[in-house]
Amino acid sequence: MTNETLTISQMCDAFGVTARTLRFYEAKELLSPIRIGSRRLFTRRDRARLKIILRGKRFGFSLEDIRQVLDLYERDSTNEVQVRHTYDLAKARLAQMEAQRAELDEAIKELKAELAEGEKTIASLRQAAE
């Protein structure tokens, strides 16, 4: 099963982060490992959240941004107003990500065009070299 809990160093190995980082995320309430005495044990839930955190970072989101995203996955589904609000936030976030994807596509296209130019340059240099 994936129900096992991990110690802090096992988490570090699994995700390629330092212990300092995990403690920092806990202090920011992004993670909430259970405690055995003073030691932390990271659950499946913590691992799922950490995945989201790390991915968010790769897209340039701040930890504060990411905290809001995490809340989306944690809705309590009893209070309609609350659920609605969360839902709206998620829709906004989705729109933002789709815009980002469009921009990314644009940037990729441009870079590809530059690459084609580069190839031409290299070819002509090779021509001139003989």
Partner DNA sequence: CGTTACATTTACGTCAACGTCAACTCTGCT
Partner DNA sequence: AGCAGAGTTGACGTTGACGTAAATGTAACG
Of 39 and 84, CB closest to a second copy: 84
Candidate list 5, 7, 43, 68; residue touching DNA; CB under 7 A: 7
82 binds, among DNA, a second copy, none (CB under 5 to 8 A by kind): none
29 binds, among a second copy, DNA, none (CB under 5 to 8 A by kind): none
In this structure, the number of other CB atoms found within 10 A of the CB of residue 119 comes to 10
Of 25 and 86, CB closest to DNA: 25
Smallest distance, a second copy to C-beta of residue 56, A: 8
Smallest distance, a second copy to C-beta of residue 63, A: 12
61-97: string of b/e by CB count within 10 Å (b at 16+)? beeeebbebbeeeeeeeeeeeeeeebeeebeeeeeee
d(CA 15, CA 1): 19
Range in contact with DNA (rule: CB under 7 A) among 31-39, 85-93, 101-109, 110-118: 31-39
Of 4 and 71, CB closest to a second copy: 71
**C-beta separation of 8 from 22 below 8 A:** yes
Output 12-20 pairs: Cβ under 8 A, ≥24 positions apart: 14/47, 15/47, 15/50, 15/54, 17/50, 17/54
Smallest distance, DNA to C-beta of residue 27, A: 8
83 binds, among a second copy, DNA, none (CB under 5 to 8 A by kind): a second copy
